[in-house]
Structures are given as C-alpha cells and as structure tokens.
Structure 1
Amino acid sequence: MRVEVVKTVSNSIDRVWALVSDFGSPDKVDPEIKTLSAQGEGVGAVREIALPEGASATELCVVCDPETFTLAYTILPPRASCTPEELCIHGAVEVGRARQNRG
C-alpha cells in the first residue's frame, strides 16, 4: 500500500527544504510530532518521535539530498535488533522539482 500526501505552501523552496531536511526536529513541520531524541545528521541519523495518542516510532534517515530536495526515512521495527530486510515502513519527502521557485 502506498499513501501520498501533497501539501502546497507559499514559501521559497530553500526555506521549505531547510525545515523538512532538519531530521532532528520534525516538530517544525508538524507540531503534533514531538522529538524524543535525535542522533546524527543526514543519512544515518536516527530520531525517536512521539506521535499523537501516546504512540512512538524510531526513524532512520536513508536519503537526504539537497540537490533533488528529497528526504527519505524508514520506520524501524520496535525490536532491539533487526536486519535491513526487516525494515518495513518507509516515508519520503520531496520538496518541489529540480530548482524551481528558489529565492
């Protein structure tokens, strides 16, 4: 199953990318999400977030590309250890296309 959410914002692509690509602070984009912990930056960064109604998730950044304005992450299973083959839920954020609306 694939779920796609598209939001249009009236701001520069650089400003939107600055917010979206700050993997350790997803609450800047969605105030319902609270960061519990974050380690590292860019690809390989891990964050634990609290979701509404008490749920939580641990996410691993797998793509952070400022040239294509793409951020992708995987939600890790709630187990102490797992292999890459066990990673099951993926998310991605794509800000604009090419270098439109810069400035």
Structure 2
Amino acid sequence: MVAEALRRRKLARRVALEVPSFLAGLHVVAASDLLMNVPVPLVNDVAAALDLVVRPAPLPLPSVPFALLWHDRFQHDEAHRWARDVVAAAVDPRFSRPPVAAR
C-alpha cells in the first residue's frame, strides 16, 4: 500500500530490510536508524516498551480491514464460535483506538 501511494505521487522508497513480521521489524527499528509503517494497534502496544517515536504517515494510506475466516463446517460449532468471539472481542477495540501520542 505504501509503495502504491508513493508511486501515485511519483515518489519511491528504499527498502533496507524485509522481515517476517511487524513485531520483528519494530525490534530492528528500535536498534537502528530505520523507520517503518505499522498498524496502529501494534504500535500502541509496543512503542513505549521499545522507546519508539510514533508519527502519522506523511501521506494518506487506506485502512487495513480485519476479518476472521473459517470453513462452513465450523459455523455452528460451539467451541469454534467461542474462539471466534474471543478473538473478535480482543481485536475490535484495538483497531478503534487512536495511535499513541508522539514524543
């Protein structure tokens, strides 16, 4: 999404490193002079612990939707329904929180 938004403005980015997860990237950023874009809920949870400075993206970016998917055979399974409800209850509030205040 970031690369596409930059391309539309005739800009490019230099990718210094690719990591397997946002969390791994945050630890790399905390120990370097690199920067990265990260979903707000994840930043809210770890920015203070890693002593990171949080700023809004310098250009508008689309929202990233959150979805749960499961096979139809589990639609009416009570244990599966309970697990889905637990995940949704944990995730929904995080996606509605604003980012932590920048230092």
TM-score by length of 1: 0.27
Tell which structure's C-alpha radius of gyration is larger: 2
Instruction: Report which structure shows greater RCO (CA 8 Å, sep ≥6).
Output: 2
Indicate the structure with greater helix content: 2
Indicate the structure with greater strand content: 1
TM-score by length of 2: 0.27
